[in-house]
Structures are given as structure tokens and as C-alpha cells.
Amino acid sequence: MSTCKADHCPCGQTCPLQVALKRIGGKWKIPILCVLSCQQGIRYNELMKKVTGITNTMLASSLKELEKDQLIRRVQYNEMPIRVEYFITEKGNQLIPILQPLALWGME
């Protein structure tokens, strides 16, 4: 994006920050990751309740993208009825401490 190359600047030619924000951007991915970082093995309908205000459509599509980017893992148990559990991955968990200073900054 930018052509800035100073040492203290996180952006290079293809800005890794834009790459990162693409993965965790949007309205719902961070709340989902937060919930998963607190409670592993959570189920779909539990997530619906914990992530206040999210719709079916958005939860499904967000989970799919997070899984594709390997920030979460989906485990399906072929019982009857079917049961699915979601887990945060190592890579996803690394984000939590990284984002904490940003959260503090966001609170002023």
C-alpha cells in the first residue's frame, strides 16, 4: 500500500497490517475469537447466544472464514442429532495478547 519503509513503520510494500486486518476484520470475527479464547469446544448454538446480536448468516460465514484462515478449528461428532464443536487454534490464540494493547488504546 504505502511506500513508506522506515524501520518503525509496520507497513512495507504489501502492508502486512492490511493482511492481518482482512483476517480479523468485519463486525463479528473478533467477538467470536474472544469467546473461543475463553471457552474451547463451544457449540454453534452456544456461540449464537454468547456473541450478542449476531445472526445465523453472519455466524456461519464468519466461522467458515475463520476456519479457512486456520484461526479456529471445527470438530464434528456424527451423533444423532449431529454435534459440532469449535476450538481456537494456536495461531488464533496468538492474536489475543497481540490485540490487548490495541484494546487498551481503544478505551483511551
Per CB under 7 A, residues contacting DNA are 26-28, 43-46, 53-58, 60-61, 63-64, 74, 81-84
Q: Which is nearer to DNA, 81 or 101 (CB)?
A: 81
Paired with 77 in beta bridges are 83
Nearer to its own copies, 52 or 78 (CB): 52
Sign of the dihedral through C-alpha 107, 37, 74, 44 = negative
User: Strand order of the sheet with strand 42-43?
Assistant: 42-43, 83-88, 72-77
Binders of its own copies in range 7-36 (CB under 8 A):
8-11, 15-21, 23, 25, 27-28, 30-32, 34-35
* CB nearer DNA, residue 17 or residue 104: 17
- Rounded distance, CA 44 to CA 46, Å? 5
Which 8-state DSSP code applies to residue 60? H
Name which of its own copies, DNA, none residue 104 binds, using a CB cut-off of 5 to 8 Å depending on partner kind: its own copies
Beta-bridge partners for 76:
84
104 lies in the binding site for its own copies (CB under 8 A): yes
